[in-house]
Amino acid sequence: KLKDFPADFFWGASTSAYQVEGAWNEAGKGLSVMDVGNHPEDVADFKVASDHYHHYKEDIALMAEMGFKTYRFSIAWTRIFPEGMGKINQQGIDFYNSLINELLKYNIEPLVTIYHFDLPLALKEKGGWTNRDTIAAFVNYAEILFEEYGDRVKYWLTINEQNMMILHGNAFGLLDDDSKDIKQELYQSNHLMLVAQAKVFNLYHQKVKNGKIGPAPNIISIYPASSKPEDILAANNYSAIRNWLYLDAAVFGRYNATAWSFMQEKNITPQLKSNDLKILKAGKPDFIAFNYYTTATVAEDFKAEAENRFKGDQQIVDNEPGLYRRQQNEYLAETEFGWEIDPVGFRTTLREIYSRYNLPLIVTENGLGAYDKLEAEDTINDDYRINYLRSHLKQLQLALTDGVEVFGYCPWSAIDLVSTHQGINKRYGFIYVDRDEFDLKDLRRIRKKSFYWYKNVIATNGQE
């Protein structure tokens, strides 16, 4: 018999500041790396995005209409500290006060990501995460957020998808493109982010007694391409480097041996200061948030005959010479954007995380990017999205039945927003935003078919 979703389950959805807010240079906001990044020319940048900055009341009213219990959003570091540190921008503080109060008006619990890819440009210019001063800047920024909003925000996420920022080469603009040894600098950046995160866990627990904080990496099950022992070893390598490195550091305060020896072998071990490991150990999360879209299937590296279908970013993420190479999974269907769809892998992933860390879990992203079509009478028939989410929820419920402790589900995304590398027409939302890549039209909000479906999911606590 299936276990019911807990009565106080956090049904909601997610967004991030630079992808949804727009108002990129308004109200005292400073520039972030996302505002100035090498954006592909054929897709929208983040300057206007969904203009949530000016539409947030309307957007939150729509979330309330769906019955959201929680809303996961991120705070733009550069609205609070235009230069990353130093002078505070009061207009930025005020904006998030209004947004949080608007949510509370509808009894929607704010779930706040402190840092979602949008490193302040001023910090990047001083070396970004390769500069130890960025640790202090991040801790100070977090401390201001706890002081300003900690009375009303009870759930915090430190860093969104730190693992993707490291594994995607320099796709998130952390470093200068001409940096000497990108991989080494990325793993150094990774280390400083881990230390900064641990400090923030610690600080939060000292300062605030009745709230919770956790990390938010992207975690997925990794399959071996065959039962060949070398392929199984490849999957084991990839899991250690892609998934567990980040969560082991966050939860246990240490690097796992496989990840560490990988860094040694590639000559990219971070420089540790004597206190770093102590700091890592001292900071503990209260829960684990994670993002899940798909799984990955890998083989041992030296199969020349295995044509690699995965290009661009994914090639960087999923190929590591000598250790693993991504393959297509012949059993899985794909989205229009070539992402494999794997609901069963969601259950496996939930089990893997829970059994390794034994902490409560919340899903902070899961969803399907598609070219939605606005049809007559303002309808969007996104049955593909409903099917994707329904099949994942089914597996989530099976994982609950397995005994995995999950306290919330926040698909990506609450409302259409600009994809990190693929523009506005790769849509994920329950709410359509009427604009194109380069024609802003009127930015009208329109309820998709999935909007009504999700409303019913929430109203029936997952029964539908």
> What is the contact surface with ligand BGP in residues (CB under 6 A)?
16, 19, 160-161, 164, 218, 291, 365, 369, 412, 419-422, 426
> Comparing C-alpha atoms, which of 332, 460, 335, 328 is closest to residue 393?
460
Rounded CA-CA distance 49/290 in Å is: 24
CA torsion angle for 425, 428, 432, 433 (degrees, to 10)? -50
CB of 422 to ligand BGP, least distance (A): 6
Question: Between 19 and 89, whose beta carbon lies closer to ligand BGP?
Answer: 19
Tell whether the torsion through CA atoms of 214, 215, 218 and 224 is positive or negative.
negative
User: Tokens representing 170?
Assistant: 């320099």
Tell me phi and psi for residue 118, to 5 degrees.
Answer: -95, 65
Question: Between 32 and 397, whose beta carbon lies closer to ligand BGP?
Answer: 32
CB of 13 to ligand BGP, least distance (A): 12
Question: Between 113 and 184, whose beta carbon lies closer to ligand BGP?
Answer: 113
Question: Between 184 and 420, whose beta carbon lies closer to ligand BGP?
Answer: 420
Residue 341 neighbours by CB under 8 Å, 6+ apart: 294, 332, 333, 334, 335, 368, 388, 391
Q: Assign residue 67 a region: left if phi > 0, alpha if psi is -120 to 50, beta otherwise?
A: left
Residue 172 neighbours by CB under 8 Å, 6+ apart: 33, 37, 117, 164, 165, 420
CA-to-CA separations, 292 to 77, 389, 409, in angstroms, rounded = 25, 12, 11
Rounded CA-CA distance 385/325 in Å is: 29
**Kindly report the CA angle at 10 between 7 and 12, in degrees rounded to 5?**
135
Rounded CA-CA distance 15/410 in Å is: 9
CB of 428 to ligand BGP, least distance (A): 7
Question: Between 218 and 395, whose beta carbon lies closer to ligand BGP?
Answer: 218
> Comparing C-alpha atoms, which of 143, 113, 83, 55 is closest to residue 415?
55
CB of 34 to ligand BGP, least distance (A): 10
CB of 49 to ligand BGP, least distance (A): 12
CB of 3 to ligand BGP, least distance (A): 29
Question: Between 69 and 168, whose beta carbon lies closer to ligand BGP?
Answer: 168
User: Tokens representing 456?
Assistant: 């019913």
Question: Between 216 and 299, whose beta carbon lies closer to ligand BGP?
Answer: 216
Rounded CA-CA distance 424/433 in Å is: 9
Question: Between 43 and 306, whose beta carbon lies closer to ligand BGP?
Answer: 43
User: Tokens representing 281?
Assistant: 């150990």
Active site residue 464: no
CB of 108 to ligand BGP, least distance (A): 20
In the bound state, the residue with its beta carbon closest to ligand BGP is 419
| Tokens 């390794």 -> residue | 356
CB of 167 to ligand BGP, least distance (A): 11
Find the catalytic residue in 352, 365, 375, 405. Answer: 365
Q: What sections of 106-228 are H helices per DSSP?
A: 121-124, 133-149, 162-167, 182-207
Residue 71 neighbours by CB under 8 Å, 6+ apart: 12, 13, 14, 15, 60, 63, 103, 108, 109, 110, 111, 410, 414
* Residues annotated catalytic, as ranges: 365
